[in-house]
């Protein structure tokens, strides 16, 4: 903040709006300083938007955790201006759910000042330079924006937003996301129903194998979750809690290998006891369909709950299904004498 203040003070570029730099104390004591400022200071009523900065001090990228409430123009400002974008609506919804036992000045400005803003978590050790670039660019954009003067006129709905490999941010209205999600889920259900119920003579056999694969897939996920939790308990028991906190790749190795090993074990046992003489192509297709059904159901339910994070399920359904449809081959034979058309698909052969 000091460096940004120094840079702005030396810049010849005029700003359309004033900028207040607020250095709060007493954050860990129920956020007293921010509460005192937003409820009592004479400048508080003139504030139209804020950028709330946090520092975890563990290394990594700066991440935009929260925006709003509503005010999609704030997300658009970040999309347009940020030089090193790293943002996700998933982080926002997880933080707002209360699962993470933490609080920030963002809530104080939002609830007591009714001011829209952006909450940026600076993982300080590595990214001080990167967040400086980002915040300076976004701050200049906001300070020269016509929307800032009438920010309350632009409150209309939520936004789905996420970055793609830190290269750029995808953002679109939540109502558009809802339509996309339901269309994707409906397409997947249509694909599965058409596939499983054709041909009719094998429908019961197909459904039996499908639901077996569905149950085994869910069981493998539950076993994986239990394994990861057991590893976490073991790490805590030996007094090494959060020992991986400053080294993200250690956590991936510690928990990722346990998760993968459990998944492989469950599916290996399933193949040995449930699918001894089953064609591998048919087996792969069956488990693909089971996973597709699980994510499609999750997509429909999360969208119904009104969560923007449903976009993850949408991507996990849309792209695999699209790839499957593109590479899928059907062999069509025409019975000239009978005048009928019949099709034989690779997934019908076991």
> Could you list the active site residues?
27
Burial of 193 (0-12, 13-18, 19+ CB in 10 A): exposed
Burial of 134 (0-12, 13-18, 19+ CB in 10 A): buried
H-only helix segments in the chain: 2-10, 32-40, 72-81, 89-97, 105-113, 124-143, 174-196, 203-237, 248-251, 257-273, 280-304, 311-327
d(CA 300, CA 289): 16
Orientation angle between helical segments 311-327 and 174-196, nearest 10 degrees = 40
**Beta pairing partners, 168:** 164
Calculated CA dihedral for residues 61, 130, 17, 168, nearest 10 degrees: -70
d(CA 269, CA 276): 10
3-state secondary structure of 122: strand
Burial 89-112 (b: 16+ CB within 10 A, else e): bbbbbebeeeeeeeebbbbbbbee
């Amino acid at each position: 903040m000091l460096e940004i203040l120094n840079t702005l003070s030396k810049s010849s570029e005029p700003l359309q709006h004033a900028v207040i730099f607020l250095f709060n104390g007493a954050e860990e004591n129920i956020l007293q300083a921010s509460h005192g400022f937003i409820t009592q200071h004479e400048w508080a009523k003139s504030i139209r938007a804020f950028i709330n900065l946090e520092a975890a001090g563990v290394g990594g990228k700066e991440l935009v955790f929260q925006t709003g409430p509503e005010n999609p123009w704030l997300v658009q400002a970040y999309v347009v201006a940020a030089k090193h974008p790293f943002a996700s609506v998933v982080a926002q919804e997880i933080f707002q759910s209360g699962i993470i036992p933490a609080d920030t000045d963002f809530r104080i400005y939002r609830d007591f000042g009714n001011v829209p803003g952006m909450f940026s978590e600076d993982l300080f050790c590595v990214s001080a330079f990167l967040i400086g670039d980002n915040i300076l660019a976004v701050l200049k954009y906001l300070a020269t924006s016509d929307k800032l003067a009438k920010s309350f006129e632009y409150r209309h709905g939520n936004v789905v937003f996420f970055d793609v490999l830190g290269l750029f941010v995808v953002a679109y209205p939540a109502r558009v996301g809802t339509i996309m999600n339901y269309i994707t889920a409906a397409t997947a259900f249509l694909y599965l129903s058409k596939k499983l119920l054709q041909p009719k003579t094998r429908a019961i056999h197909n459904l039996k194998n499908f639901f077996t694969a569905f149950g085994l897939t869910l069981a493998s996920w539950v076993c994986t979750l239990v394994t990861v939790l057991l590893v976490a308990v073991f790490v805590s028991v030996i007094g090494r809690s959060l020992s991986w906190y400053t080294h993200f790749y250690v956590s991936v190795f510690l928990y990722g290998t346990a998760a993968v090993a459990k998944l492989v074990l469950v599916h290996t046992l399933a193949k040995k006891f449930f699918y001894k003489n089953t064609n591998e192509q048919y087996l792969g297709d069956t488990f693909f369909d089971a996973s597709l059904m699980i994510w499609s159901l999750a997509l429909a339910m999360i969208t119904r709950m009104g969560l923007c994070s449903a976009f993850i399920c949408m991507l996990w359904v849309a792209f695999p299904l699209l790839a499957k449809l593109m590479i899928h081959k059907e062999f069509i034979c025409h019975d000239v004498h009978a005048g009928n058309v019949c099709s034989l698909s690779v997934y019908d052969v076991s």
